[in-house]
A and B are shown apart, each in its own frame.
Chain A
Amino acid sequence: MNAEMNSSPHIHSPLSTRRIMLDVLIALLPAFLAGAARLGWRALAVGGVSVAAALGSEALVCALRRRGCSPSDGSAAVTGLLLAMTLPVSVPLWQTALGAAFAVIVVKEMGGGLGQNAFNPALAARALLMLLFPASISRYPALDGVSSATPLHRMALSALPQESPLELLLGNCSGSIGEISSIALLAGGAYLIHRRVISPRIPLACIGAVAALSLLLPRAGSSLHSSLQWMLCQLLSGGLLLGAIFMVTDYSSSPVTPRGQAIYGALCGGLIVLLRSVGIYPEGVTYAILIANALAGCIDRLCIPRRFGVQRGGRA
């Protein structure tokens, strides 16, 4: 014990686990509040129930395990808020609570606990809810008499959405609570990069892959202008930014090697484009990231950094 405390280094970066979780909550808040402003007070209820259920579940597990974990590290609150942000505002509150409890108890804690779980808890919980209650997860309520279809519903039919990219950027559209305001999500991402909570590698690789593939993949009867517009709509609609900034960067379910992180981010982007264009759901972010989660460990093993003083291939 003493030896560990006396060991160098004797100073430490101020970025602790708890500070990181606080930073993620701070970064999520603008997008969450923008969603609530657009969708109404019920969004706050969904967020509150989800966070409370996640914290309650974490407290329960920690009490049962009786060793070194505590809901006060903030990770459960992050999981709860992230889950709420992936849900439509009309989701029944008991389903939200069920999802949050599943995320924390089964996916996170039974998956090894903080830092060890292989799958992103919030996304795994969303996937479960989509399976159990497809009606409440894929229904987006009408807004001010506007069509209830989200931009992605139209794009699933290979049509450009009714909204312009600018409207999508500003959140003038329908969707899950946290995915509405692209500009708030981007601001949150910039904050996390500035605070060095995440490196820009993963989100840039993911967003870049989606941009490149949606430009390159052929679409019937498209001019350059509409191709660009199509790409922008792909980037700004649905859960892409929420996923690329807050889900793909999840520490425990993503690779730790710098090269592995870039490859993993690009893989997520590729899978998102694939699932959006072939699946029965218009959205593909959830499943794309969960599939990539399963491959993260494998990617890391292939991307171990080159040993100092040794050429690639082992020559000194």
Chain B
Amino acid sequence: MKKRFFGGIHPDGRKELSAASALRSLSPKLAILPMQQHIGAPCRPLVRVGEDVLRGQRIGDGEGLCVPVHASVSGRVVAVEPRPHPSGREINAVVIENDRLDRAVPCRENHLPTEQLEPQDILRAIREAGIVGMGGAAFPGDAKALGALGRIDCLIANACECEPYITADDALLRRFPDQVLQGMAILKQCLKPQRAVLAVEDNKAEAIARLQAKMTEDDAAELLVLPARYPQGSERQLILAVTGRELAPGSLPADAGCAVFNVSTFAAIYRAVRLGLPLTQRIVTVSGEAIRRPQNLLVRIGTPLSELIALAGGLTEENARVHSGGPMMGLLQKDLSAPVVKAVNCVLCLPEEKKSAAAPVCLRCGKCVEVCPMRLMPLELYRSERSGDLNALRSLNPFDCIECGCCAYVCPGALPLVEHIRRGKRSLKEGVQK
């Protein structure tokens, strides 16, 4: 049943930088809460400047594919205006001055046995808590679960965390394995799959031991240890590894009878359904060679990246490159006042890049073809995008590309392959519109 995915790479994990640290909490002076932290329609602010808010209070919501945003600290709203967002754009945000009192909205706990939880109640709790996919995609959690309702036989908890440096899920599993397992039991009750699998890479020995200790009496979920290889945590590659099924181009996991959620999302679901707590905090890895004290932080959503960096001892060099997310798929940050949003799992600080004098050149070595987990031909995609041959480009299936970056990582000629494939997708989409 299990199947190795094709291609992939073994970059130096560098996880030892942050893995061993204690989990410190961080509550910011100013919480900047963008009204869009998910894929879909943005929220409307529900509070005005000057208003007093409690932690856990809903401060933004909207219709359609949308989940609400909650205040992550108590205090006064000091601004509702566009602010820098880790995506690089400016997005309307509610800014709260933290009064450090941590006054919270009273929450309704739910201690019903799991079998008595109703699917629609679970879905409602997931939506009301503002839960999105916390592995990076930020798809609204209730919509994803609803799409899987009655269609799946396998529920997968993704703890692969295959990107180098990041240890946030690892820290979560070591500290709060119960929350993840209970979250899985809740969603299993909601979606009724035959199997619930927690997939983890074999480089997280302590987390695996913790889970095994907890799972002995628990038959709700099975643990699957996969060899560490990037991009094992990518949805399509993970479904292949767990079920042996290859998702057809353009189709969704539910089409192959699967639903994949990050382990942080499962913990958030547990906290939402059982404790009545909305999503207002998450674990973020602050790591890289250019940060003084790499570590994991339990961070309020909305904390500016600069505060995480300061708490981790600051940058070691002036020209360090700061990214949200991992080194393979993360985004370079120009403005460190951008906040941690729900899907940010890492603030990665790398030293200034030494610019190579040589111009990028394709050696036709074939390494990009050898590592592409979607079995594309990155060098040909690059060439047809550069020459503007859209028909050739389309025949190379650029929309299959998951932008994992394996090709550009291995390219000895340093071609910006991912960037050009992205451009190719854009020109094809524009071509269709015209």
Contacts and interface: CB of A to CB of B under 8 A. Distances in A.
Interface of A: 3-13, 15-20, 67-70, 73, 113-116, 199, 251-252, 254-258, 261, 304-310, 316
A13 B328 contact: no
B112 interface: no
A68 B359 contact: yes
B76 interface: no
B247 A309 contact: yes
Contact of B408 (A9, A254, A255): A9
B332 interface: yes
Contact of A8 (B251, B357, B372, B403): B403
Given A115-B362, A251-B365, A308-B249, A13 B409 contact: yes
B409 A114 contact: no
A8 B331 contact: yes
Interface string B395-434: 0010010010100111111101011001000000000000
Interface stretch (B144-152, B172-180, B215-223, B373-381): B373-381
Contacts of B369: 256-258, 305
Of A18, A254, A307, the most chain B CB neighbours within 10 A belong to A307
B164 interface: yes
B253 to A, nearest CB: 12
Contacts of B361: 17, 68-69, 113-115
B364 interface: yes
Of A115, A199, A252, A254, the most chain B CB neighbours within 10 A belong to A115
B292 interface: no
Contacts of B416: 4, 7
A64 B379 CA distance: 27
B20 interface: no
A316 B372 CA distance: 20
A306 B372 CA distance: 12
A316 B376 CA distance: 16
A311 B361 CA distance: 33
A5 B409 CA distance: 13
A3 B420 CA distance: 10
Interface string B350-393: 10010011110111111001101111110100000000000000
Given A9-B329, A11-B327, A309-B246, 10 more contacts: A10-B332, A10-B350, A12-B409, A13-B409, A251-B366, A257-B377, A258-B370, A261-B366, A305-B375, A308-B400
B330 interface: yes
Given A8-B331, A9-B408, A11-B11, A306 B375 contact: yes
A308 B235 CA distance: 13
B370 A13 contact: no
Nearest to A303: B369
Contacts of A113: 361
Interface string B251-290: 1000000000000000000000000000000000000000
A116 B377 CA distance: 16
Given A8-B331, A73-B358, A304 B377 contact: yes
A8 B405 contact: yes
5 contacts: A10-B330, A11-B11, A11-B409, A251-B365, A256-B379
A291 B175 CA distance: 62
B196 to A, nearest CB: 24
Of A255, A256, A258, A307, the most chain B CB neighbours within 10 A belong to A256
Range of interface residues on B (Cβ < 8 Å): 35 or more
Nearest to B11: A11
Contacts of A257: 366, 369, 377
Contact of B364 (A68, A199, A252, A307): A252
Contacts of B408: 7-9, 12
B342 interface: no
A135 B364 CA distance: 36
B204 interface: no
B412 A70 contact: no
A93 B150 CA distance: 78
B363 A7 contact: no
A266 B356 CA distance: 37
Nearest to A12: B409
B400 A307 contact: yes
Given A16-B356, A305-B377, A8 B330 contact: yes
B305 interface: no
A251 B350 CA distance: 32
B251 A9 contact: no
Contacts of B362: 115-116
A9 B418 contact: yes
B394 interface: no
A6 B248 contact: no
Given A5-B353, A10-B350, A17 B375 contact: no
B85 interface: no
A64 to B, nearest CB: 16
Nearest to B256: A309
Given A9-B405, A10-B321, A308-B249, A256 B366 contact: yes
Interface in B195-241: 236
B350 A11 contact: yes
B373 to A, nearest CB: 8
Contact of B249 (A8, A252, A310): A310
B15 interface: no
A4 B9 CA distance: 22
A3 B6 CA distance: 29
B127 interface: no
Interface string B326-353: 0111111000000000000000101001
A252 B379 CA distance: 12
B55 interface: no
Contacts of A310: 248-249
Contacts of B405: 8-9
B323 interface: yes
Contacts of A115: 361-365, 413
Contacts of B348: 10
B412 A16 contact: yes
Contacts of B332: 6, 10
A311 to B, nearest CB: 9
B412 A15 contact: yes
A307 B249 contact: yes
A5 B319 CA distance: 14
Of B249, B362, B400, B412, the most chain A CB neighbours within 10 A belong to B412
A68 to B, nearest CB: 3
Nearest to A13: B410
Contacts of B327: 8-11
Nearest to B334: A6
B248 A309 contact: yes
A12 B350 CA distance: 12
Given A3-B419, A258-B369, A11 B328 contact: yes
